[in-house]
Amino acid sequence: MKRILTLLAVLMPLFGVAQTASIKKVQLAGDKIIVQYELDDSNPNNEYLMNLYSSKDNYTVAMTKVKGDVGPEIKPGTLKTIEWNFKEELGDFNGEIALEVRGKVFIMFAKLQDFDVDKSYKRGKSYPLNWKPGNNNPIHIELFKGGERIIGELNHPNNGTYLLTLPAHAKPGDDYRIRLTDSKRP
Q: Given this model, what pLDDT does residue 6 score?
A: 33
- 133: in domain: yes
- 81: in domain: yes
Q: Could you tell me if 177 and 127 lie in one domain?
A: yes
Q: Could you tell me if 137 and 91 lie in one domain?
A: no
Q: Given this model, what pLDDT does residue 136 score?
A: 83
Q: Of 63, 89, 105, which one is at a domain's C-terminal end?
A: 105
- 100: in domain: yes
Q: Given this model, what pLDDT does residue 86 score?
A: 92
Q: Could you tell me if 26 and 80 lie in one domain?
A: yes
CATH number assigned to the domain comprising residue 166: 2.60.40
Which is nearest to 143 in space by CA: 174, 178, 92?
A: 178
Q: Of 71, 105, 139, which one is at a domain's C-terminal end?
A: 105
Q: Could you tell me if 126 and 144 lie in one domain?
A: yes
Whether residue 103 contacts residue 49, with contact meaning beta carbons closer than 8 Å, is answered with yes
How does pLDDT run along the chain (186 residues), one tens digit per residue? 334 333 333 333 333 345 788 999 999 999 999 999 999 998 888 888 899 999 999 999 999 999 999 998 899 999 999 999 999 999 888 889 999 999 988 766 677 788 888 888 899 999 999 988 877 889 899 998 887 889 998 999 989 899 999 999 988 888 888 888 888 775
Q: Write out the residue range of the structural domain in which residue 92 sits.
A: 18-105
Q: Could you tell me if 35 and 93 lie in one domain?
A: yes
Quick one: CA dihedral 113, 107, 134, 76, positive or negative?
Answer: positive
Split into its structural domains, the chain has a count of 2
- 1: in domain: no
51-84 exposure pattern, b = at least 16 Cβ within 10 A, e = fewer: bbbbebeeeeeebeebebbbeeebebeeebebbb
